[in-house]
């Protein structure tokens, strides 16, 4: 349809091109109404999205910067520059994406969001598009890529260690209490809640769901449709009569729902998400809703996760850790090998390969994919007393350390020991924002 359009020189690389399959949310893409835009920007947009998908980007950012339009691909949580275009051409691409998502390209003073369905290399994707005005006539855009292919999230497929999934299963054993998955936006909180739910033994327990889980399928879970005119209490009563052991709830945001849930938590076990950056914030929020007593009595545990980039298997390098390092990391002294990223090419050496030539698999990044690390605040007897006394985050943290509960940073060392990530990546992911990177020491040659 656009074969007469010249290829954009900034995107001249060859990829298998995406096939657009129309906008989402019942909208129409009116390409005929925008012939000039289509002529100028359809092919570059196609190429940009194809490029992003081939690089495993999960987000594409299009943002004005110094009179130009910068494009960045976010891969495994890290944004990479993917070209800067002259302002007008870049803005044309942004408008073209809006047309493809069924949005109005003339409207530039309001936030607009929509979606595009497409196929690339025989895989179907959904792009969630948001255009945000930043000054008159100028917008920035965020495109989130999701692969709606149904995924079964079990402890195994999510990468949850066996001892943790057993612990979560233990929480559900008496079919009472509340188990929560916390996390900020984009933290994978829904996946974490579903994985937690799937730790239950489906042959022994009957599990109902009242939650929406977009694109994630629940296994061995019965969808519960509330009857007309039934409020939450009547619905819970009905589930109890149907011998429900466990109920999966929508993310906790409504105090009234949370209060009712706590009232029933001595008869059913609940699993839900709670929007909170960490378990301590989650506890504070719950206390505000239902009070300390209820929290200490009813909550069994709050799980959180953080995604850490995993080393590329094709180019990671083994090294023999020295005993001091193992001691510092509290790893067994017999650990004989850990892994790290290969050193970057020597800029002094004219024959050195470029970063992209170093490894085809990861383009020299040298990380490929992410793996979760976990924290689990358990309402043990000790923790219940801390909650009743002060619920102070520092005191709760100290209690977690004292009782050797799973904490993010120590759990990340598990990934290092398993050879899945590097110490450098763990340091990077736990560095507080804004703190500069320490200058890396010169590395010895790989063993």
Q: 217 or 361, CB closer to Zn ion?
A: 361
Q: 273 or 425, CB closer to Zn ion?
A: 425
> How far is residue 357's CA from residue 149's CA, in Å, rounded to a whole number?
32
Distance of CA 368 to the CA centre of its chain: 15
Find residue 64's DSSP bridge partners: 69
> How far is residue 320's CA from residue 127's CA, in Å, rounded to a whole number?
44
C-alpha dist (Å) from residue 34 to 24, 30, 118, 132, 367: 19, 7, 20, 21, 41
Q: 244 or 362, CB closer to Zn ion?
A: 362
> How far is residue 172's CA from residue 265's CA, in Å, rounded to a whole number?
11
CB of 317 to Zn ion, least distance (A): 10
Distance of CA 231 to the CA centre of its chain: 33
> How far is residue 95's CA from residue 33's CA, in Å, rounded to a whole number?
13
Q: 103 or 315, CB closer to Zn ion?
A: 315
- Which two structure tokens, joined as six digits, stand for 20? 């657009």
CB of 62 to Zn ion, least distance (A): 28
Round to the nearest angstrom and report the end-to-end CA distance of the chain. 55
Helix (H, G, I), strand (E, B) or coil at 359: coil
> How far is residue 273's CA from residue 190's CA, in Å, rounded to a whole number?
7
Q: 105 or 366, CB closer to Zn ion?
A: 366
CB of 359 to Zn ion, least distance (A): 3
> How far is residue 42's CA from residue 252's CA, in Å, rounded to a whole number?
42
CB of 290 to Zn ion, least distance (A): 49
> How far is residue 279's CA from residue 393's CA, in Å, rounded to a whole number?
9
Q: 42 or 359, CB closer to Zn ion?
A: 359
- Which two structure tokens, joined as six digits, stand for 289? 């809703």
Find residue 19's DSSP bridge partners: 119
> How far is residue 95's CA from residue 98's CA, in Å, rounded to a whole number?
5
CB of 313 to Zn ion, least distance (A): 8
Q: Summarize as ranges the residues that interact with Zn ion (CB under 5 A).
A: 312, 314-315, 359, 361-362, 366
CB of 254 to Zn ion, least distance (A): 46
What phi-psi label fits residue 22: left (phi over 0), alpha (psi between -120 and 50 degrees) or beta? left
Using an 8 Å Cβ cutoff, are 85 and 141 in contact?
Answer: no
Using an 8 Å Cβ cutoff, are 73 and 49 in contact?
Answer: no
CB of 430 to Zn ion, least distance (A): 23
For tokens 């019942």, what's the residue? 26
CB of 262 to Zn ion, least distance (A): 49
Cβ count within 10 A of residue 397: 17
CB of 125 to Zn ion, least distance (A): 24
CB of 315 to Zn ion, least distance (A): 3
Q: 280 or 367, CB closer to Zn ion?
A: 367
User: How many residues belong to the chain?
Assistant: 447
Q: 237 or 418, CB closer to Zn ion?
A: 418
Q: 85 or 315, CB closer to Zn ion?
A: 315
Q: 131 or 315, CB closer to Zn ion?
A: 315
- Which two structure tokens, joined as six digits, stand for 6? 């010249």
């Amino acid at each position: 349809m656009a074969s007469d359009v010249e290829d954009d020189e900034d995107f001249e690389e060859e990829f298998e091109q995406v096939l657009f399959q129309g906008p989402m949310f019942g909208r129409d893409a009116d390409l005929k109404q925008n012939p000039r835009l289509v002529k100028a920007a359809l092919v570059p947009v196609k190429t940009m999205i194809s490029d992003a998908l081939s690089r495993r980007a999960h987000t594409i950012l299009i943002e004005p910067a110094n009179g130009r339009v910068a494009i960045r691909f976010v891969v495994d949580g890290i944004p990479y520059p993917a070209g800067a275009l002259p302002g007008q051409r870049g803005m044309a691409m942004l408008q073209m994406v809006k047309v493809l998502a069924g949005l109005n390209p003339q409207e530039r003073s309001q936030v607009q969001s929509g979606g595009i369905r497409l196929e690339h290399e025989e895989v179907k994707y959904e792009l969630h598009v948001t255009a945000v005005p930043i000054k008159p006539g100028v917008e920035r855009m965020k495109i989130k890529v999701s692969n709606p292919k149904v995924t079964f999230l079990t402890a195994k497929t999510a990468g949850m260690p066996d001892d943790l999934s057993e612990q979560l299963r233990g929480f559900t054993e008496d079919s009472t209490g509340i188990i929560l998955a916390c996390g900020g936006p984009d933290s994978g909180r829904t996946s974490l809640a579903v994985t937690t739910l799937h730790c239950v033994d489906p042959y022994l327990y009957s599990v109902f769901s009242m939650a929406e889980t977009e694109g994630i399928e629940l296994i061995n879970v019965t969808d519960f449709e509330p009857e007309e005119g039934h409020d939450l209490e009547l619905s819970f009563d009905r589930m109890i009569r149907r011998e429900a052991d466990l109920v999966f709830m929508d993310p906790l945001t409504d105090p009234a729902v949370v209060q009712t849930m706590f009232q029933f938590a001595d008869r059913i076990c609940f699993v839900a998400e709670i929007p909170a950056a960490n378990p301590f914030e989650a506890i504070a929020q719950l206390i505000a809703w239902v009070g300390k007593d209820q929290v200490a009595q009813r909550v069994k545990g709050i799980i959180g996760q953080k995604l850490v980039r995993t080393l590329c298997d094709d180019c990671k390098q083994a090294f023999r850790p020295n005993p001091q390092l193992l001691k510092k990391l509290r790893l067994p002294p017999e650990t004989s090998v850990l892994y790290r990223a290969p050193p970057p090419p020597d800029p002094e050496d004219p024959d050195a390969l470029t970063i992209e030539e170093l490894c085809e698999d990861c383009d020299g990044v040298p990380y490929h994919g992410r793996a979760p690390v976990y924290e689990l605040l358990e309402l043990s007897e000790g923790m219940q007393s801390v909650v009743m006394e002060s619920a102070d985050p520092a005191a709760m943290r100290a209690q977690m350390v004292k009782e050797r509960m799973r904490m993010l940073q120590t759990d990340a060392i598990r990934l290092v020991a398993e050879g899945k990530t590097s110490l450098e990546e763990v340091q990077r992911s736990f560095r507080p924002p804004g703190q500069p990177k320490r200058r890396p020491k010169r590395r010895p040659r790989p063993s």
